[in-house]
Amino acid sequence: MSETILIVDDERAIAQLTALWVTAAGYKPLVAHDGEAALAAAAAHKPQLILLDIRMPNMDGFEVNRRLKLIPELTEIPVIFLSAHAQESARQLAISVGAAAFLSKPYEARDLTTAITTVLAKHKSK
């Protein structure tokens, strides 16, 4: 059984493209387009990894991450933050709140796949 990866991005085209790349890499994608849907999907499906956009309306990625960490069965799921606004401060904040990795948009399929593979391997070795 392949690992499930939850993709959280309010930009539907980006979420769809990312899901295609995730599928091509041999993983099972789940997609959520906002923070509330992301939290519900994470609770229902317990993905092995979450790809989380930072800038979303209503609830940003940092808040989604904070709420995930409050749920004991979800707290260990690694999160790769994604952002089109790749200022160093956003990257540092993502790492400080426990991000397993940070990718700047636009990212290439190979960069995404490498990040996913690396994070999952590191998480499995814990």
7 by DSSP, 3-state: which?
Answer: strand
**What is the set of domains in the chain, with CATH numbers?**
18-28+40-82+99-114 (3.40.50.2300)
Each residue of 68-124: pLDDT tens digit?
999 999 999 999 999 887 677 888 888 889 899 999 888 999 999 999 999 999 988
CA distance 5 to 91: 21
Residue 101 has a pLDDT of: 94
Tokens 């960490």 map to which residue?
Answer: 69
User: Model's pTM, two decimal places?
Assistant: 0.95
- Spatial neighbors of 126 by CB under 8 A, at least 6 apart, are none
Q: For residue 72, say if its preceding peptide bond is cis, omega within 30 degrees of 0.
A: no
Residue 86 has a pLDDT of: 64
Cross-strand pairs, 49:
5
